[in-house]
């Protein structure tokens, strides 16, 4: 198979569930290799996978912008069950079959939701720190309630939303907090494709507006996805970052939110513990993610 230039991709759009989803496609379907479908995390977008795709050896790859992210439609705040439904509809609308899927954080959670209905279309799944937590988390109030300020505002809703340029956004995040562990090229992709022109034509705003991103976090516990896990029979590999110590008292992305026992609950699950990495595994080690995607292909 000839190697696909990863700098060349097609930007495309499709309507599902009353919204328009943007997706990017590299290469063409091949009879001798499965299509790889990539699903991003909360607040991110499809092009956050670019550095992983560079290591996928010319495979046919599709990466989707979920609603309220990237170049897809923005709607009102919705729970994660809606994102799962969108992913199912997206796969069916494109009639994808015999695919390998990978999702980071919320993307991994949505894949589990979707697999219950589309498992016959999927060969195997890679869940990259999929934010599927221990059973007790789903029994009480949302942990995000504890992050709200006196006015009911989520900390993510206060994110800076305006930047003069892509470079200004890059400079704002470079070396700060969790972003300090990212590869520079991954941060560049996040900034370059994570902005849209401001309505007044001056400067740029985040493609995932802070208020909408905050609403995504607030809706993260709408689905007790653990009820679905035992129904999934295809091979599922889970990449977990370093384990969190103690209770989660702040919005911290340096450690994993994923239940360490999750892989054991799948019929055919494999746990890969990566204590040297943070929750942002694809932004720190895209080649590692690509290597797991290419296993047995």
> Across the strands, what pairs with 102?
38, 126
Least confident of 70-84, 146-160, 258-272: 146-160
- Does a structural domain hold residue 169? no
Domain carrying residue 130: 10-141+222-293
Tally of domains in the chain: 1
Half-sphere exposure of 185 (CA within 13 A, CB side): 10
> Across the strands, what pairs with 274?
241
17-34 burial code (b ≥16 CB/10 A, e <16):
bebebbbbbbbeeeeebb
- Does a structural domain hold residue 177? no
Per DSSP bridges, beta strands 61-64 and 19-26 are: antiparallel
CB of 231 closer than 8 Å to CB of 284: no
User: Rounded distance, CA 219 to CA 248, Å?
Assistant: 17
Residue length of the chain: 297
- Does a structural domain hold residue 173? no
pLDDT digits (tens, 9 = 90+) for 220-266: 677 888 989 999 999 999 999 998 775 554 556 788 999 999 999 99
Cα Rg of the chain, angstroms: 18
Quote the mean pLDDT of the chain: 90
- Does a structural domain hold residue 260? yes
- 94 closest CA partner among 33, 22, 41, 45: 22
User: Rounded distance, CA 45 to CA 253, Å?
Assistant: 17
pTM of the model: 0.92
Half-sphere exposure of 132 (CA within 13 A, CB side): 29
- Does a structural domain hold residue 252? yes
User: Rounded distance, CA 261 to CA 107, Å?
Assistant: 19
Q: For tokens 């400079």, what's the residue?
A: 171
pLDDT more than 70, % of the chain: 89
- Does a structural domain hold residue 244? yes
Return the CATH number at 253: 3.40.50.1820
């Amino acid at each position: 198979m000839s190697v696909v230039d990863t700098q060349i991709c097609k930007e495309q759009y499709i309507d599902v569930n009353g919204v328009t989803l943007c997706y990017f496609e590299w290469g063409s379907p091949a009879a001798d290799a499965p299509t790889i479908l990539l699903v991003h995390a909360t607040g991110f977008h499809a092009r956050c996978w670019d550095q992983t795709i560079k290591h996928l050896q010319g495979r046919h790859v599709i990466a989707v912008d979920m609603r309220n992210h990237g170049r897809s439609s923005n709607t009102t705040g919705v729970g994660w069950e809606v994102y799962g439904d969108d992913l199912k509809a997206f796969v069916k609308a494109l009639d994808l079959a015999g695919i390998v899927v990978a999702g980071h954080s919320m993307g991994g959670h949505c894949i589990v939701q979707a697999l219950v209905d589309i498992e016959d279309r999927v060969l195997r799944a890679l869940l990259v720190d999929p934010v599927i937590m221990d059973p007790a988390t789903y029994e009480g109030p949302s942990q995000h309630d504890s992050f709200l300020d006196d006015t009911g505002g989520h900390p993510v809703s206060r994110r800076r939303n305006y930047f003069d340029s892509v470079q200004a956004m890059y400079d704002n995040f470079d070396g700060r907090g969790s972003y300090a562990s990212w590869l520079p090229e991954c941060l560049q992709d996040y900034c370059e494709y994570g902005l849209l022109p401001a309505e007044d034509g001056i400067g740029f705003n985040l493609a995932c507006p802070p208020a909408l991103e905050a609403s995504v976090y607030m809706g993260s516990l709408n689905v007790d996805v653990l009820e679905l896990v035992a129904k999934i029979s295809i091979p599922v590999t889970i990449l977990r970052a370093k384990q969190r110590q103690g209770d989660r008292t702040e919005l911290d992305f340096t450690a994993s939110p994923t239940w360490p026992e999750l892989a054991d609950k799948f019929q055919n699950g494999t746990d890969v513990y990566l204590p040297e990495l943070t929750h942002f595994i694809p932004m720190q080690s895209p080649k590692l993610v690509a290597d797991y995607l290419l296993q047995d292909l």
